[in-house]
């Protein structure tokens, strides 16, 4: 296998692992945040607006981790800097 094929295979494998591992953490984090928010609203219904607003902000911040993993995987697949280096080294 030439260097371009090897770089492509490793890039695709790494992109898949990035998405797989990078989406598990935020999924568990969002589930826990929603669970705690529902518990807090059940205990203090008067503060539901404040809790809900805080929940939405925290869910957006948690989801940004998964979005960053998606961006990294897209860079690895479509704009991989290692391919350019391998092409220049190969001539």
Note whether 61 and 25 are within 8 A (CB): no
Give backbone dihedrals phi and psi of 11, rounded to 5 degrees, phi first: -65, -45
What's the CA gap between 68 and 61, in Å, rounded?
A: 11
CB crowding 1-15: b at 16 or more within 10 Å, else e: eeeeeebbeebeeeb
Length of the chain in terms of residues written: 91
Span 20-79, pLDDT tens digits: 999 999 999 999 999 999 999 999 999 999 999 999 999 999 999 999 999 999 998 888
Residue 2 has pLDDT above 90, yes or no: no
Could you tell me the fold of the domain covering 3-90? F1FO ATP Synthase (1.20.20)
């Amino acid at each position: 296998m030439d260097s371009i094929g090897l770089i492509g295979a490793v890039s695709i494998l790494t992109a898949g692992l990035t998405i797989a591992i990078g989406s598990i953490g935020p999924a568990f984090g969002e589930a826990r945040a929603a669970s705690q928010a529902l518990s807090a609203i059940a205990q203090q219904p008067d503060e539901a607006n404040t809790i809900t607003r805080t929940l939405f902000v925290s869910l957006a911040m948690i989801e940004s981790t998964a979005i960053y993993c998606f961006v990294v995987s897209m860079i690895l697949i479509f704009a991989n800097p290692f391919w350019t280096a391998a092409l220049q080294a190969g001539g």
